[in-house]
Structure 1
Amino acid sequence: MTGLILVGHGNFASGMHSALRLLNGECEGLVSIDFQEGTSFEDLCEQLNKEIDKFENDKVIILTDLPGGSPFKAAALATFQYDHVKALTGINFPVLMEIALSKDYTEDIDQLIAQSIVNAREALMEIKLEA
């Protein structure tokens, strides 16, 4: 099993988790961590590492909301600490859905991440209604 850990500011992670659950039911191996106001960076790192440790030797993908923030930095540190952890930042809902629905059917996590990035770019579009 590949573990997924969503991390983001405010209720970003739990909100994305909730939306995925609404559309697809519960996703095994998906954890969300909300980085709330008043939480220290050290506490965030500790909570993230605790969740990673639950997956033992399974592959883990950490998905964060935006580059440069504390969740991003905590994820980056985790990729240095754990050989079985990958991280992706700037995620959106199509990325989450694709990874969550495909993670247990692929052995090549790097390919899954790369394809998810391509598909996310294609999913981003302006809505124009023509009369």
Structure 2
Amino acid sequence: MINCIVTGHGEFSVGLTHALEMIAGPQANMVALPFREEDPLETYVDNMANLKTKLTEDSDTLFIFTDLLGGTPFNQAMLLKGDNPNISVIAGTNLPMLLEFMGQNLMGTTPAEILTQIIESAKTGMVVGELKAAEEVDEVDGI
């Protein structure tokens, strides 16, 4: 089982993991790590390093989901990753991506395949909703 950290600015990680748990139930292998404006950067860095140590005790593979490419949470995760091929840092995290991660992880999918699947889920989960007249409704998706 692959463990993961969900992190980002403010309460992004807390809100996203809470939403995921509303849908999929409690997740023992997922930890939220908020990057709060009022907390010193050193505390955040230490917390991330401690989580990495804890979460890699039973699995050498770790996914770190971040909110924004190039933001502090992403940058610190990349520094923590260093040249470790067993740590993957993913930016642009959204709820469809995390749901896909949890499902693929439960099925025992390889880390490389999970990365492919979650990126695809993130992309296909982003749409602009449209209301259609009843005669235009697609029987398959109901939209």
Question: Matches of 2:72 and 2:25 in 1, distance apart?
Answer: 29
Give yes or no for contact 1:57–1:84 (8 Å, CA) kept in 2. no
Q: Following TM superposition, by how much is the alpha carbon of 1:38 offset from its aligned partner in structure 2, in angstroms? A: 1.9
Q: Which protein has the bigger helix share?
A: 1
With 37-46 and 62-71 compared, the bigger mean Cα shift is at: 37-46
Aligned counterpart, 1:61: 63
Summarize deviations over 1:21-78 as a string: whole Å, max 9, x none.
Answer: 1111101211000111122333222111100100225111000011111100111112
Structure 1: distance between partners of 2:80 and 2:5 = 12
Q: Which runs of 5+ in 2 are unaligned?
A: 134-143
Alpha-carbon distance between aligned partners in 1 of 2:18 and 2:40, rounded to the nearest angstrom: 24
Partner of 2:105: 103
* Residue identity in the other structure for 2:75: K
Count residues with an aligned counterpart: 131
How many Å separate the matches in 2 of 1:52 and 1:81?
A: 14
SS of equivalent residue, structure 1 residue 74: helix
Counterpart of 2:53, as a letter, is D
Q: Which moved more, 1:17-26 or 1:78-87?
A: 78-87
Whichever of the two has the greater Rg, that structure is 2
Q: CA separation in 2, counterparts of 1:83 and 1:130?
A: 47
Task: Look up the equivalent residue of 1:25 and give its one-letter code.
Answer: G
Q: CA deviation at 1:79?
A: 1.4
Distance 1:119 1:29 in 2: 20
Q: Give the whole-Å Cα distance in 2 for the aligned partners of 1:113 and 1:81.
A: 18
Say yes or no: does 1:8 pair with 2:24. Answer: no
- Percent of residue pairs bearing the same amino acid type: 27
In structure 1, stretches of 5+ residues that fail to align are none
* Contact 1:4 1:100 survives alignment (8 Å): no
The 4+ residue runs of structure 1 with deviation greater than 4 A are none
TM-score, length-scaled by structure 2: 0.84
